[in-house]
Amino acid sequence: MLLLRCPLLLLLLLPLSSRPQKLPTRDEELFQMQIRDKAFFHDSSVIPDGAEISSYLFRDTPKRYFFVVEEDNTPLAVTVTPCDAPLEWKLSVQELPEEASGEGSGEPEPLEQQKQQITNEEGTELFSYKGNDVEYFVSSSSPSGLYQLDLLSTEKDTHFKVYATTTPESDQPYPELPYDPRIDVTSLGRTTVTLAWKPSPTASLLKQPIQYCIVINKEHNFKSLCAVEAKLSSDDAFMMAPKPGLDFSPFDFAHFGFASDNNSGKERGFLKSSSKFGRQTSSKPRVDLHKVCIGNKNIFTVSDLKPDTQYYFDMFAVNTNTNMSTAYIGTFARTKEEAKQKTVELKDGKVTDVFIKRKGAKFLRFAPVSSHQKVTFSVHSCLDAVQIQVRRDGKLLLSQNVEGVRQFQLRGKAKAKYLIRLKGSKKGASMLKILATTRPNKQSFPSLPEDTRIKAFDKLRTCSSVTVAWLGTQERNKFCIYKREVDDNYNEEQKKREQNQCLGPDTRKKSEKVLCKYFHSQNIQKAVTTETIRGLQPGKSYLLDVYVIGHGGHSVKYQSKLVKTRKFC
């Protein structure tokens, strides 16, 4: 009896008998492999019937697979899926020795004679292909014989997949594409693209579980999901499907852009370095590639994209039973440009009001008509903090966040032009006032202390009065204090909504005015003033506001203070 010593195939083989050895497969009558000796198939593999196998190729190192078709007129389908490199592959067939049919004398031929019969024959080439497409060999009537699949990668080490079956009509493991397998771009915006596609007949007609996976990147289309996965690291698993009715944005990005920079230096090679083969994978930058599976819906909006940027979109139908996929015809689209910003011209010494949408930006230009040694920018942010950037002739001079009133003095330059970019808050719309001047004494905004809170003295509180204090500066300014009665349930959130510091005393009712006075102190440590507000009602709540008014007439409001008189005295 012939002893087989091939460890890779040992578990697949039945106990030897006087008949030639047969590989147990799903359909033993149609799709079996006969192995005579390990030397025949050095470092080769068996292709099972009806199962997709994944493997790899080292560059310039061919790999060979075998399978046997025992009966003539057998249907046969072979699918080869390259992952991230083109493949050269060839399918050929040669006749088996007579004893391979199992109808001989029952005595196997001597080993060397069988080896000569198989290896000396070139075989008949049935199909060959070179490229990175998913390619198929399909025959409704294949001859019996030993089938040999040879694969080679000449570019680099790569993964690939192979699937073979003798029952292609009933298997259908790959989702079927619709008659029109294109992806349609139905809507295009500056940061969004809406895609639509026709459902796979495997889902709509055969009722098999199909989910759709979208791949977005800025480089090229992909021809297989295998190629996508080769580009992604092992921890980039499929994203969860979004909740019903909500499209999922794969670009959290601060990110779309896409991936964060902190991963940019990691290796992306899928093969570990191996001392056995003496090959190492090169380090690659992280690919801007994102994949999201969205269930079985066939319309999806990708959001948080960059304006005026070309993106490539691929769609894969995945059979969740077999985990095998089919690619739709990919598409690409360029997002719309940002709306061109109108640049506002600033006049020397004149205050300009600016409104900025949430997360928006505004551009202003200041071109002094005369030579100057210094230029001063004064900014009064009415609500939340805003960001200001100032460039002189393209060079960045200033980048700061501004809350309240800030003043920036920059060195001047003859015939210089200044471009100011103001970026709004993420919380909501922003309002501000800005002044640019080359005259250092031209200051429209009043100076403010660092602390603009109003302090109330609880021990001095009575049923009809409250006493408050606030800080001033060394500059002599006019201060006006106003009061307004509010409900007892008036809270900090309501107060915050009324904190527009740019609204001056001219917006208040005359009945709310308490008094106005001038105040300053050369000693900044003593620049404190107090005021007692009388004529209040017992047990009532009041909102107090202090306005400081500059020489140019512009006012800035201190932080509002909520006070309450005593109910019993």
The answer to which of 105-109, 293-297, 460-464, 525-529 has the lowest mean pLDDT is: 105-109
- Residue 59: closest CA among 152, 160, 128: 152
Residue 446 is assigned to a structural domain of this protein? no
Query: Quick check: is 316 in a domain?
Result: yes
The amino acid sitting at 50 is: G
Q: If 0-12 CB within 10 Å is exposed, 13-18 middle and 19+ buried, where does residue 105 land?
A: exposed
**Is the residue at 255 inside a domain?**
no
Q: Is 177 found in the same domain as 166?
A: no
Q: What is the CATH number of the domain that holds 375?
A: 2.60.120.680
**Tens digits of residue pLDDT in 318-361:** 998 888 899 999 999 999 987 776 888 999 888 899 998 888 88
pLDDT of res. 321: 85
Residue 33 lies in a domain: no
- 321 lies in the same domain as 189: yes
How would residue 226 be classed by pLDDT, with cut points 50, 70 and 90? confident
Final residue of a domain: which of 437, 464, 491? 437
| Dist CA 147 CA 165 (whole Å) | 12
* pLDDT at 276 > cutoff 70: no
> Looking at the structure, do residues 160 and 186 belong to the same domain, yes or no?
no
Q: Quick one: pLDDT at residue 130?
A: 92
Q: What is the pLDDT of residue 443?
A: 67
What percent of the chain has a predicted confidence (pLDDT) above 90?
29
Model confidence band, residue 496 (pLDDT cutoffs 50, 70, 90): low
Question: pLDDT tens digits, residue range 533-568?
Answer: 999 999 999 999 999 988 777 888 888 899 999 999
- SS3 state at 430: strand
Is residue 354 assigned to a domain? yes
Q: What is the mean pLDDT of residues 66-95?
A: 88
* Per-residue pLDDT, 33: 41
Q: State which of 339, 357, 375 marks the end of a domain.
A: 339
Write the pLDDT tens digit of every residue in 397-450: 999 998 888 888 888 888 889 999 999 888 888 888 898 988 867 667 888 888
- Return the pLDDT at 415: 85
Q: Are 474 and 521 in contact (CB under 8 A)?
A: yes
Rounded to whole angstroms, the Cα distance separating 527 from 509 reads 29
- Token pair in block for residue 547: 């306005």
Q: Is the dihedral of CA 55, 58, 59, 63 positive or negative?
A: negative
Residue 103 resides in a domain: no
- Out of 407, 437, 467, a domain closes at 437
Q: Which tokens sit at 5?
A: 């010593």
- Give a yes or no: residue 258 inside a domain: no
Residue 235, pLDDT above cutoff 70 = no
The secondary structure element, H or E, covering residue 425 is none
pLDDT confidence of residue 565: 94
Adjacent-strand bridge partners of 78: 137, 164
CATH code of the domain covering residue 489: 2.60.40.10
- Alpha-carbon span 355 to 353, nearest angstrom: 7
Of 104 and 340, the one with more pLDDT: 340
Residue range 236-260: mean pLDDT, rounded: 38
Counting the structural domains of the chain, the total is 4
Whether residue 317 sits in one domain with residue 201: yes
* Residue 97's pLDDT band (cuts 50, 70, 90): low
Per-residue pLDDT for 259 more than 80? no
* pLDDT one-digit tens code per residue, 443-467: 678 888 888 899 999 999 999 999 9
Same domain, yes or no, for 166 and 181? no
Give the pLDDT mean for 287-309.
89
Looking at per-residue pLDDT, the higher value among 46 and 491 belongs to 46
Q: Which residue has the higher pLDDT, 130 or 111?
A: 130
Higher pLDDT, 233 or 212: 212
Same domain for 492 and 532, yes or no, is yes
Q: Is 49 helix (H, G, I), strand (E, B) or coil?
A: coil
Same domain, 314 and 348: no
Distance CA 564, CA 566 (A): 7
pLDDT digits (tens, 9 = 90+) for 519-531: 888 888 888 999 9
Pairing type for strands 430-437 and 374-381 reads antiparallel
- Give the range of the structural domain holding residue 381, as residue numbers without chain letter: 344-437
Confidence at 286, pLDDT banded by 50, 70, 90: low
Q: Per 3-state DSSP, what percentage of the chain is helix, strand, and coil (rounded to 5)?
A: 10, 40, 50
DSSP structure string for 7-44:
TTTGGGPPPP-SSPP----SSTTTEE-----GGGGTT-
pLDDT in the model for residue 331: 93
Residue 68 has what pLDDT?
Answer: 85
To which H or E segment does residue 164 belong?
Answer: strand 158-165
Could you tell me what percent of the chain has a pLDDT over 70? Answer: 76
For residue range 167-201, list pLDDT tens digits in order: 887 778 889 999 999 999 999 998 999 999 999 99
The model carries a pTM of 0.49
Confidence class of residue 263 from pLDDT cuts 50, 70 and 90? very low
Residue 118 pLDDT > 50, yes or no? yes
Q: Which of 221, 357, 225 shows the shortest CA–CA distance to 293?
A: 225
- Give the pair of three-digit tokens for residue 226: 């295998």
Say if residue 327 is in the same domain as residue 352.
Answer: no
Question: Is residue 258 within 8 Å of residue 289, measured between CB atoms?
Answer: yes
Same domain? 544 vs 404: no
Residue 272: pLDDT above 50?
no
CA-closest candidate to residue 154, choices 233, 82, 91, 80: 82
Q: Which tops the pLDDT comparison, 113 or 197?
A: 197
4 domain-assigned: no
Same domain, 417 and 527: no
Do residues 559 and 453 lie in contact, with contact meaning Cβ atoms separated by under 8 Å? yes
Give the helix ranges, DSSP H, for 71-209.
111-119, 168-171, 201-204
- Looking at residue 312, its pLDDT comes to 95
For residues 526 and 474, membership in a common domain is answered with: yes
Same domain, 137 and 60: yes
- C-alpha 175/C-alpha 189 separation (Å) is 31
